[in-house]
Amino acid sequence: MSLVVAEHLPTDPEAEARRGLSAMALGIVGSEILKIAADVRRMQAEGQQVVNLTVGDFAPSEFRIPRRLEDAVSAAIAEGQTNYPPSDGLPELRRAVRSFLDRELGLDYPLEGILVSGGARPLLYGAYRAVLDPGDVVVYPVPSWNNNHYCHMVGAVGIPVVCSAEDSFLPTPELLAPHLRTARMIVLNSPLNPTGTTFSEEALRAVTQAIVDENLRRQQTGERALYLLYDQVYWTLTLHGTRHVDPIRLVPASAPWVILVDGLSKAFAATGLRVGWSCAAPAVTARMRDILGHVGAWAPRPEQRASAVMLDDAEATHAWLDHMRTEIAARLDALYDGLSALRAEGLPVEAIAPAGAIYLSARFDLAGRAGFETNDAIRKWVLATSGTAVVPFNAFAYPHQDGWMRLSIGAVSVAQCHACVDRIGAALRSL
Ligand X SMILES: Cc1ncc(COP(=O)(O)O)c(C=O)c1O
Site residues (vs ligand X, CB under 6 A): 56, 119-121, 145, 189, 193, 231, 233, 263, 265, 271, 276
| Minimal distance, residue 172 CB to ligand X, in Å | 20
Contacts of 378 by beta carbon, 8 Å cutoff, 6+ apart: 364, 366, 367, 372, 392, 403, 405
Exposed, middle or buried: residue 410 (CB in 10 Å: 0-12, 13-18, 19+)?
buried
Q: Name which of 144 and 200 has its Cβ closer to ligand X.
A: 144
Q: Name which of 96 and 233 has its Cβ closer to ligand X.
A: 233
| Minimal distance, residue 54 CB to ligand X, in Å | 12
CA–CA dist 264, 68 (Å, integer): 14
Q: Name which of 57 and 92 has its Cβ closer to ligand X.
A: 57
From the centroid of its chain, how far is CA 147? 10
**Closest residue to ligand X: CB criterion:** 119
Q: Name which of 145 and 393 has its Cβ closer to ligand X.
A: 145
Q: Name which of 149 and 343 has its Cβ closer to ligand X.
A: 149
Distance from the first to the final alpha carbon of the chain: 63
Q: What burial letters (b/e) apply to 42-76, b meaning 16+ CB within 10 Å?
A: ebeeeeeebbbbbbbbbeeebbebbebbeebbeeb
| Minimal distance, residue 16 CB to ligand X, in Å | 32
Nearest one of 298, 241, 263, 234 to 56, comparing CA atoms? 234
Ramachandran angles phi, psi of 404, nearest 5°: -80, 135
CA–CA dist 414, 403 (Å, integer): 24
| Minimal distance, residue 87 CB to ligand X, in Å | 18
| Minimal distance, residue 77 CB to ligand X, in Å | 21
Q: Name which of 145 and 336 has its Cβ closer to ligand X.
A: 145
CA–CA dist 96, 361 (Å, integer): 34
Q: Name which of 233 and 420 has its Cβ closer to ligand X.
A: 233
Q: Name which of 389 and 419 has its Cβ closer to ligand X.
A: 389
| Minimal distance, residue 256 CB to ligand X, in Å | 23
Q: Name which of 197 and 401 has its Cβ closer to ligand X.
A: 197
CA–CA dist 299, 93 (Å, integer): 11
The CB density around residue 324, as the number of other CB atoms within 10 Å, is 20
| Minimal distance, residue 120 CB to ligand X, in Å | 4
Contacts of 383 by beta carbon, 8 Å cutoff, 6+ apart: 39, 40, 43, 50, 389, 390
| Minimal distance, residue 238 CB to ligand X, in Å | 14
| Minimal distance, residue 272 CB to ligand X, in Å | 9
**Do you find a cis peptide bond into 191, omega within 30 degrees of 0?**
yes
Strands laid side by side in the 157-162 sheet: 114-117, 276-279, 258-263, 227-231, 185-189, 137-142, 157-162
